[in-house]
Structure 1
Amino acid sequence: MSLPAANRFHEAVHAGSIVLAFLTQVVSEVFFSLSKVPNALFQGSFRNVSETFPLEVTMDQWSDNNWIVIDLWSKAWLTYGMFGFFKRNVLGPESCNPEVHPPVFYLMWITINLARTSITVLWDREFILAAASVRWILPIYSFYMLYMSYSKLYKYKNWLAVNNPKLILWTRYLTQNGLAAFAWWSLFDASVGLGISLKYIHGVQEPLASSIVLSIIAICIIIWFGLQSILVSKYMRHTFSVYPTLILGLGSMFTSSYRVHDFSANTVVCGVLMILVTIMSFTNLISVCMYTEKPSTSLVVEPYMNITVCETVCPPGGQIKNKVQC
């Protein structure tokens, strides 16, 4: 296969993966909407099944509305990815030149949507262990997608800063923040599912089952804060959606378990975690405001001067070039 033909084939694969990701996103949302009330497809409602297997830290009913916002956000960054095929830079379509989000990125999102669809069916049939296991696909895959986005954007940042600076902003504030919100909300969902399976399948009693759920979330919060604030802040400092998502998730657990005359230890832990997350959020905002990004000395205005780093699909200026310096 010649290079132009290979490039066109890769473009088609990239475009097809984005379109398929968007379509599976819509299908998963349709299934989730149908699962809210009994109908020909679902025997009961998703919420009724959750109330059949309660935990102290079961997320409150109002938290279901957060999926609406998260799904709209997801469709927004998928739409931007499709729109990028109609915008061109000196290398070709923006979506794959350079390839910040390769086809495998969108194929993982397709897997997530298929998993979400299967979860609604498994949960409706009360296959608790299977549904709880499949739920973990969502946070694991979405966090890995976030890692891919961080690393690829940082790799091509210098070239993009000169040749396509808007793509940096859209990727940071639309794609990465939307993906982070989805990853954390699905982590809450998966952790609660684990707690339900521990209690109703493996016989772990309350309050231990709910304490395990909160412990998993607390450990993940600490790891995220350490990575964002200290270890890899250069990749993650522009992701702001995590802490509001955490506060909403913990708040839904708090309101669900709050009893005036029966204040459990796990309810107190939820409240304490919300306060700590709020402090972390302000700390992160202050550190970002105080940070001054140093200008790079290796910026390249002409993207095809040195063939060393950036993977591309289309040749610049009619000449075949596979890589350019970032």
Structure 2
Amino acid sequence: MARFQMAPQPGQNAHHVVLHAVSIGLAVVAQMISSIFLTLTKDSFVPDGLFQTPSWNVSETFSLEVSMDWWSGGFWIMIDLWSLGWLVHATVGLFNRNVLGPESCNPEIHPPVFYLMWVVVNIARMCSMFLWHRRNLLAAVQLWWITPVFSFFMLSISYGNLHKHKAWLAINTPRVTTWTRYLTQNGLAVFAWWSLLNAVVGLGMVLKYRFGVQDPLISAIVLAIICVCALTWFLLQTFLLHKYLRYTFCVYAILVLGLGAMFTRSYRVHNMSSNTSFCGCLMLIMTCMSVVHLICECMRTEDSVMPLALEPYVTSSVCETVCQPEAKHKPQKC
């Protein structure tokens, strides 16, 4: 005995596509506004900026031994361009179609909540800049922590959904997997880790200027937190969550750059502090972990993928998608 499962109504499909498109559009707009706003606040690009007090003067007011050097601020431009790149790719995916519909939401690797969280991240970045220039240190640092927390949660959504649908994508649209791994996930990882470095330094500022913990102790605590986070990522990527994280290669590079900014800020030729030496050792450790990761990936073979099915009407039944093929009736056994 066989029964037929009817495809969802076209109106319902259109509603989900519109919801997905609106969420991507909001994320793109928020990213562009945030990038323009943060660029205008930098005195190196706009004379006098948007605020009376330059950002660098505020940073000097709440300095640590491991504060990042002035040149590190330019990396936000590269990171924002990368973020805009994967958002543009998501937008293009609304117009590219596979057997189920628009690629961006069939299967839905990045649901609407993924992009709405990115809107919140950019709003938090802009609000934190206002608070930072008003020297409201505690409130600004609290907003700084929103960005890495939300970014890592977005990464977990992307990793989980891509792994869930990778077999179907390998048969129908393999380029989506490649673009998601190397553009979206690596770009989001760069943003998450750079935000985490700034948030940890901000935590050190709060402990020093609000709770009285003095340098060099607080700077050593900041470096220790960074070291623990990096080692945790290395263990997850190498052993526990290898199948999800194996294609994210940029984490150690961004950590080396961040630690390098801390190193150049505190480096003194004839009077090198213990924290400066600690920072240099961490840079070496990050480089070694990056090399180990690359060697491990070169030695490992691609995980075997068991095709779900070659026929579109069968593959659509095992993928959670926004749209289903129109006028497609598929028999199922009772």
Task: Settle same-fold status: TM greater than 0.5.
Answer: yes
Aligned match of 1:132 in 126, 141, 147?
141
Aligned partners of 1:320, 1:175: CA distance in 2, in Å? 35
Tell me if the contact between 2:167 and 2:306 (Cα under 8 Å) persists in the aligned partners. no
Contact 1:115 1:135 in 2 (8 A): yes
Deviation at 1:39, TM superposition (A): 4.8
Q: Any conservation in 1 of the 2:316–2:324 contact (CA below 8 Å)?
A: no
For 2:17, the equivalent position in structure 1 comes to: 11
SS at match of 2:259: helix
Q: Secondary structure of 1:136's partner?
A: helix
1:241: which partner in 2?
250
**Contact 1:161/1:168 (8 A) holds in 2:** yes
Q: C-alpha deviations, 1:174-229, integer Å up to 9, x for none?
A: 00000000000000110111111111111110011111211111110010000000
Contact 1:146 1:176 (8 Å CA) reproduced: yes
SS of the residue 2:313 aligns to? coil
Question: How far apart, CA to CA, are the structure 2 residues paired with 1:30 and 1:91?
Answer: 37
Give 1:320 deviation, angstroms.
7.3
Q: Equivalent residue for 1:82?
A: 91
**CA distance in structure 2 between the partners assigned to 1:82 and 1:297 by the alignment:** 30
Pick from 194, 209, 212: which aligns with 1:200? Answer: 209
In structure 2, runs of 5+ residues without a counterpart are: 1-7
Identity %: 56
Aligned to 1:30: 36
Q: Which AA in structure 2 matches 1:274? A: M
The answer to whether residue 62 in structure 2 is matched with residue 53 in structure 1 is: yes
Q: Match of 2:297, as an amino acid?
A: V
User: Is 1:303 aligned with 2:312?
Assistant: yes
Task: Please point out which of 38, 42, 53 is paired with 1:44.
Answer: 53
Look up the SS of the partner of 2:42 in the other structure: coil
SS in 2 for 1:23: helix
* Aligned-partner Cα distance in 2 for 1:306–1:167: 16
> Within 1, Cα distance between the matches of 2:140 and 2:293?
35
Counterpart amino acid of 1:224? W
Name the CA distance, whole Å, in 1 between partners of 2:63 and 2:303: 51
| Contact 1:34–1:42 (Cα < 8 Å) also in 2 | no
CA RMSD of aligned residues (A): 1.5
Higher mean C-alpha displacement, 183-192 vs 310-319? 310-319
Distance 1:42 1:97 in 2: 45
1:215 maps to 2:224: yes
Q: Secondary structure at the match of 1:139?
A: helix
The match for 2:158 among 139, 144, 149 is 149
Kindly provide the amino acid, as one letter, of the partner of residue 148 in structure 2: P
**Alignment size in residue pairs:** 320
Where 1:63 maps in the other structure, the secondary structure is helix
Task: Compute the displacement of 1:298 (Å).
Answer: 3.6
Comparing 215-224 and 36-45, the one that deviates more: 36-45
CA contact (8 A) 1:24 1:110 kept: yes
Q: Show the counterpart of 1:286.
A: 295
Paired AA for residue 33 in structure 1: T
Structure 1 residue 93, shift from structure 2 partner:
0.2
The letter of the residue matching 2:21 is A
| Aligned partners of 1:35 and 1:44 also within 8 Å | no
Shift of 1:166: 0.3
Q: Could you report, residue by residue, the CA deviation over 1:218-276 in whole angstroms, capped at 9, with x for unpaired residues?
A: 11001000000011111111101101101000000000011122211111111000000
Equivalent residue, structure 2, for 1:269 = 278
Q: What is the distance in 2 between the residues matched to 1:132 and 1:213?
A: 14
Alpha-carbon distance between aligned partners in 2 of 1:298 and 1:95, rounded to the nearest angstrom: 21
Q: Which deviations, in whole Å up to 9, do the C-alpha atoms of 1:266-322 show, x marking residues without a partner? A: 11111000000100000000011111114323432223216653111222143378x
* CA 1:40–1:70: 2 relative to 1, 3 Å: closer
Query: TM-score, length-normalised on structure 1?
Result: 0.95
Larger Rg: 2
Alignment match, 1:324: none
CA–CA distance in 1 between the matches of 2:315 and 2:89? Answer: 29
Amino acid at match of 1:223: T
2:78 paired residue number: 69
How far apart in 2 are the matches of 1:112 and 1:91?
A: 31
| 3-state DSSP of counterpart to 1:179 | helix
Moved more, 218-227 or 5-14: 5-14
Q: Is there any run of 5+ residues in structure 1 with no aligned partner, and where?
A: 322-326
